[in-house]
Structure 1
Amino acid sequence: MMRQAFSLLVLLVTLATAFAAPVQAQTAPPPTAPPTASQTAPQTARGSFWLQIEAQPNLAGAEERASAWQGLFSDVAGFSTGSGWYVITLGPYSEQQAADRIAELRSENLIPRDSFVSDGATYGAMFWPAGATAPLPLAPDLQATDPLAPAADTTEALTSEALTSEALTSEAGQPAPDMLTDTLPDTLTEILPDETPEEARASESLLTQTEREDLQRALMWFGFYDAKLDGSFGRGTRASMAAWQGAGGFEPTGILTTAQRAALLTTYRAEEQGFGFQTVTESEAGIEATLPLALVAFDHYEPPFVHFTARDGSETRILLLSQPGDEAALAGLYDTLQTLQIMPATGPRSLQGDSFTLRGESAGLVTEAFATTSRGMVKGWLISWNPDTTPNMDRAVSTLRASFRPIGDRALDPGLVPLTPAVKSGLLAGLEIKKPRLSRSGFYVDATGSVLTTAEAVAQCGRITLDGRTEATVAATDAANGLALLKPASPLAPPAFAAFAPGTPNTEIAVAGYSYGDMLPAPVLTYGRFAAAEGLDGGTALNRLDLAAREGDTGGPVLTASGAVAGILVPQPDKTRALPKGTAFAAPPAVLAALLQSGGVTPATAPEAAPLTPQDQIALGTAMTVLVSCWD
């Protein structure tokens, strides 16, 4: 909100400077007549008009683009705006000359189609030509005669440098009280409230349907309006107008005056132009959306994505998502996107039946994604950007979100391009998949989803996940025995959890575990024998197993023939010795009980039962075993 207020303040000071000298000599227009161009333009450009051809979000980019345009046109000028953007223009011209010039250049395709004529009302300090401090004068044959113009401008200039964010902030870091109104010239209240509410309503009544929708669109752009663009100025639109007025220090009447409408639209168009929005109809993917083509350009197809990569150093990337599928495919895509490097781990996310939304935020990357399923197809989008180099991208996201719609009856054909070996071996459509630092096994120990695992699996982790998607934290540890108890971020409803019973020597057992980490989608059962209820040193803190386990199995449950859990598989206690192949160890239920109880879990006791069938034992082990992943 402070940024919006600052933008408006720069605009107001510019307008005040323009009108301060001649205001008393002018005759007020009739109540129903909007001010003329000469009444609303800043003094430095009175009688002058500009062709605004481009806008850039930073000075370096604007200077580079202005230099490029200078090679084509001799009258390139650049100005800063109060909203933080930098506009590139041609001019100055008279009003008629500007109209003729823009028509000529458009017909020759020499300027972008969204270029427009501006009276310069929101232009601040001049940055181009290099070293310039004021707009060039009109050429003699174009100069307009203004009998009301003063012989010289004696108004002290307020530069954009004087209106820094620090100037608008108190020592406590909060917006300074009444700063918007206290810094304005005394004549401003005579100039900018150029119409009474009755007069403003009368001039508003002359607006076309398109002009009314444009005002709503501009209010939406700046975050004041979020309803339908219908041109109807009902209660919602009036409230949005009042909020915009209040943010700029105007009286919040809910009825924009002619000057306020001009200020709102000019600032909006300057920012919008910098994004280069165009409606893209992607027939292969069956998607239509408005994309910021000044920031991205189409690159290639790689199902299920249509790739739009960054242009001109924008650090912005857009993917259109399109594939055949139902709600199950949608859920799979939801999980998959969260494994990509392009999606930071921190941020809100939601999967609700036929659609999902994801947002990830980190210091140098923000990514947002949306997808929905209908008629056997999953379609959506993903946009990512660097918030430090591309400001106001949330406005571009809002535009993309509002304009996106599936079209036709086709999704991107998976056979449109062949999958390369690189994609198959660890890349998803050219996007790097995030990999955990370490993956081990664990198993559910209660009905709320508490998980028992080894301490090494969760040591020094930035974050911990269960089965790749559920966040978890360490609730209790047993350093002496190398164990850890995890709690999910929100309660789960596991399909099965452990019931404990001591193992019996010389009986068959099985360990359920993710032997190969996250390479397989489900745990593997490894069969062996319960060798002894003691370790190699004769102590009872460990049981010895005859089992060909792998590193990924550690943390998994040791299952008896009847399905009871006889312990947890732990790493070899003495790694300075090479033990015979097939020697493994487990911590027994008696050791586990103290840790579980310290973490608020009452271990369940397994009843005596008949042996399970092999299929039932596999199903039980699969249901209770969890992939525990440690992330940096």
Structure 2
Amino acid sequence: RAKEATSRFSTILTENVNIFSLDDGWYAVSLGPYDSAKAFEILNNKLGAKLISPDSFVTDGKNYGEKVWTAGSFDMTDLEKLSNNGTAEYNQNYTFDLNKDILDPSQSNNLLFSNLEELEPLEKAQFFESKLSDFYKKAVQSALFADGVYDSEIDGQYGPGTRKAINEWQIKNAYEATGFLTMSQQSELIKNYLNPLLESGLKVEKNILAGIKIPMLNIFKKPVKINPPIITYEAEPASKIKVFLISQHGDEYDLKILFNAMKDLEIIPSDGKKVLFRNSFELSGKNNELESFFTAVSSNNKVKGFGLQWPIEEDYIAKRLLVKMRLEFESIPGALRERRDANEDQNLNKYLGFELRRPTYSQSGLFIDEEAKIITQSSGLSDCPNITVNGIHKYKIVAENRGLDLALLAPQQVLKPLSFIEYTTTVPKIGEQVVLSSFPYQGKLNRSSLTEGTVRELEDLQGDKRKFRISIPVNPGDSGGGLFDLSGNFIGLHLAEPSTTNLDAQIVLKAREITKFLGEVGLSELKRSYRAEPLDLRQIDSMANRVTALISCWEQY
């Protein structure tokens, strides 16, 4: 059957025809790969022309096994030999694009060879809709909004507002009102949405240096700046839209370094989404003047992506261009930049050629519960207009005790920390070794650090027994850091004195005072720890790193 189907396909179709083996003894005959929009367009065209089987559908290919045949690669007699040879070497030279997660294979396994022709049109539309990515759903919502039938949030969630808009669009265009778009209807809707781009003049930019092929407006000529791994295009003459190509050799480690370097660039407004996935990231931001979107993917030892920045007054064209760019971004051979050494990793933002947003100052804090609330030193924070944690999440002060120099922070969105502190009621002894977990270099190391110290006195220099004194070297970001004993139990909060850099005069607020403060503001006390066995520093560092937060103060964010 595979032989018959592929022999027929390879003679009547111009697309790349492949055969993949499947675990259950079947074979998948595949066309492509394409980007998601193109795949659905080809599916509809081929079905309409009756060139492919009526039960054909779009998949991301994740459940495919080895590729055993490609059109023109060898004869069908060779395929028959391979199908009976368990030791044969197969050609698996294929890749998928940025939108490869369009379908969830775990949900489509049972439908892989089901007869979709037997489904009613509404059922078929519901099936295909369930496989759409959030991005594609946002594109549909944007198109409905542009058509004047949708006025809710563009969030990729199909609620009652989206269903109502789809119904209105279907009635307006003489379709049956089902609230679910068929593939051909989606193609028509998106095509109409993107039409203004064609009127503005569109081209495909093929940048051999970066190894990227991507649609752009004709108003973009040649690059104006190349700062590996970023190439910048500026429109001319009147538009202020900018396009950025991202290209470098590297893997998921390099992707993470690039994400950390880019998330504080001034070209990306702070109010937006900054998300790092296993092999990709998305950075977006918006303020009263401009909006930006950046994305990159790690694949085949290369990191590639793009960015778009535009002034708010050019939303109409820019947001359509963003949809077009995401749907048709293509990686071709080549990459712009190779990482040279570890020092370059740490200072990548110096190579990007853009200004960085910098906080006024940074200090440390500690997660105290599953709702990601934080305790830290309050000095100066009450005068801070914008507070973030770990450079991304917005926080606010919800309680303070000026006498203890203690502040309680809460996130302005729902968060869940990796872990939170557990304290011991055991009082440390004079001369006992302790460790401070903090961000001494104000976040430049991208993780907390441990510093070893010694308990000197069970009260502060003024005799306040709510605190104790330690001997430990300190840096500006240490304030609000957590002190732990050698069993990894939390014992106090470091309170920095700006006028005191004497390592023997460092003050710590006892854990029991923090627990008492939490009770006074209506919260549960800190979780108790009964751990008594000593841990090595690596174990303490791992535990402390999960509960220590970087707190930053910004004039504008």
TM-score per shorter chain, which class?
Answer: 0.5 to 0.7
Aligned counterpart, 1:251 = none
**Conserved 8 A contact 1:275-1:295:** no
Q: Tell me the CA shift for residue 425 of structure 1.
A: 8.1
Question: CA-atom RMSD, angstroms?
Answer: 4.0
Q: Would you say 1:444 and 2:367 are equivalent positions?
A: yes
Matched AA of 2:504: G
Deviations 1:465-520 (A, max 9, x none): 32223333333222221211223432324245232333222322221211111222
1:520 maps to which of 445, 451, 456: 445
SS in 2 for 1:471: strand
Q: Tell me the CA shift for residue 329 of structure 1.
A: 4.1
**Conserved 8 A contact 1:274-1:294:** no
> Under a length normalisation based on structure 2, what TM-score does the superposition of the two structures give?
0.60
Q: Would you say 1:361 and 2:286 are equivalent positions?
A: yes
Identify if the C-alpha distance between structure 1 residues 508 and 272 changes in structure 2 by more than 3 Å, giving closer, same or farther: closer
C-alpha distance in structure 1 between counterparts of 2:343 and 2:461, whole Å: 50
C-alpha distance in structure 1 between counterparts of 2:144 and 2:208, whole Å: 28
Matched AA of 2:418: P
SS in 2 for 1:400: helix
Matches within 5 A, 1:181-260: 223-224=146-147, 243=172
Q: Percent sequence identity over matched residues?
A: 22
Aligned counterpart, 1:470 = 393
C-alpha distance in structure 1 between counterparts of 2:342 and 2:545, whole Å: 31
SS in 2 for 1:298: coil
C-alpha distance in structure 1 between counterparts of 2:278 and 2:471, whole Å: 46
SS in 1 for 2:379: helix
Q: Tell me the CA shift for residue 327 of structure 1.
A: 4.2
Identify if the C-alpha distance between structure 1 residues 365 and 487 changes in structure 2 by more than 3 Å, giving closer, same or farther: same
Matched AA of 2:230: F
Identify if the C-alpha distance between structure 1 residues 391 and 595 changes in structure 2 by more than 3 Å, giving closer, same or farther: same
Q: Would you say 1:403 and 2:301 are equivalent positions?
A: no
Identify if the C-alpha distance between structure 1 residues 244 and 438 changes in structure 2 by more than 3 Å, giving closer, same or farther: farther
- Which has the higher Rg, Structure 1 or Structure 2? 1
SS in 1 for 2:455: strand
Identify if the C-alpha distance between structure 1 residues 406 and 243 changes in structure 2 by more than 3 Å, giving closer, same or farther: farther
**Conserved 8 A contact 2:227-2:351:** no
C-alpha distance in structure 2 between counterparts of 1:559 and 1:415, whole Å: 38
Matches within 5 A, 1:593-604: 593-597=515-519, 598=521, 600-604=523-527
Identify if the C-alpha distance between structure 1 residues 289 and 506 changes in structure 2 by more than 3 Å, giving closer, same or farther: same
Q: Would you say 1:622 and 2:541 are equivalent positions?
A: no
Identify if the C-alpha distance between structure 1 residues 274 and 503 changes in structure 2 by more than 3 Å, giving closer, same or farther: farther
Identify if the C-alpha distance between structure 1 residues 480 and 527 changes in structure 2 by more than 3 Å, giving closer, same or farther: same
C-alpha distance in structure 2 between counterparts of 1:223 and 1:374, whole Å: 34
Matched AA of 2:362: S
Q: Would you say 1:414 and 2:338 are equivalent positions?
A: yes
**Conserved 8 A contact 1:335-1:469:** no
Aligned counterpart, 1:505 = 430
C-alpha distance in structure 2 between counterparts of 1:618 and 1:459, whole Å: 30
Deviations 1:422-466 (A, max 9, x none): x94853511222212211011222344332211136334343332
2:512 maps to which of 590, 605, 608: 590
SS in 2 for 1:388: helix
Aligned counterpart, 1:373 = 298
**Conserved 8 A contact 1:570-1:587:** yes
Q: Tell me the CA shift for residue 243 of structure 1.
A: 4.2
Matched AA of 2:483: V
**Conserved 8 A contact 1:476-1:595:** no
Identify if the C-alpha distance between structure 1 residues 587 and 320 changes in structure 2 by more than 3 Å, giving closer, same or farther: same
List alignment gaps of at least 5 residues for structure 1.
1-216, 227-235, 246-263
Deviations 1:543-593 (A, max 9, x none): 1222222221111111223322221000228x4xx6855311111122211
Matched AA of 1:312: P
2:532 maps to which of 606, 609, 628: 609
Matched AA of 1:565: F
Matches within 5 A, 1:170-185: none
1:484 maps to which of 397, 407, 426: 407
**Conserved 8 A contact 1:297-1:310:** no
1:282 maps to which of 177, 183, 207: 207
Matches within 5 A, 1:557-572: 557-572=482-497
Q: Would you say 1:494 and 2:383 are equivalent positions?
A: no
Deviations 1:47-76 (A, max 9, x none): xxxxxxxxxxxxxxxxxxxxxxxxxxxxxx
Matched AA of 2:206: T
Q: Tell me the CA shift for residue 362 of structure 1.
A: 0.3
List alignment gaps of at least 5 residues for structure 2.
1-139, 151-164, 175-190
Which is further off, 491-500 or 335-344? 491-500
Q: Tell me the CA shift for residue 389 of structure 1.
A: 5.9
**Conserved 8 A contact 1:457-1:628:** no
Identify if the C-alpha distance between structure 1 residues 424 and 506 changes in structure 2 by more than 3 Å, giving closer, same or farther: closer
Matched AA of 1:449: A
Matched AA of 2:439: Y
C-alpha distance in structure 1 between counterparts of 2:342 and 2:543, whole Å: 37
What is the aligned residue count? 382
Matched AA of 2:372: G
